[in-house]
Structure 1
Amino acid sequence: MTKLKLGPIADDRPVKIALELPAALHRDLTEYGRLLADGAAPIEPAKLIAPMLERFIATDRGFAKARRISSSEKL
């Protein structure tokens, strides 16, 4: 199995957001969903976006540092 950064997709109540994606990004998300499914039914691109953004934010050290600084300034 391919080692992907994204793990299982949690079934959570969504908030709707409308956005346009470049066609190439949509193709990449479609392929990512196929690979992540590992033989099961492919995961649709819309279900990948939120977990990918969560993972990106969780691993962005600059964002975490800025958030800590911002939080300490509020105290």
Structure 2
Amino acid sequence: MANGSRVAATRTGGNLQDGEIVLFVPPENSIALVDALRHFVVNPGAQYVAELDARERAALRYSIAGMIGRYQGVYQHERRGGA
């Protein structure tokens, strides 16, 4: 994500939604994988927008500032009584 790449992958329990940055394909389905990769090649405009979105998400989710903000939210929630 940090380099802006989109991904075609099988679903393994992550929290990304299909079509956002990742195109999920069924396990052991090479035809679906080829179709997903073809989608990236024949839609270069959509690819560019998705690359920018991937970089932005990576910066927000995995940067030090983003991580600190999430930790602060957890601690504030717990300080107020949780639940």
TM range (shorter): 0.3 to 0.5
Q: Name the structure, 1 or 2, with higher relative contact order (CA <8 Å, separation 6+).
A: 2
Select the structure of larger CA radius of gyration: 2
User: Would you tell me which structure has more strand in proportion to its own residues?
Assistant: 2
TM-score by length of 2: 0.39
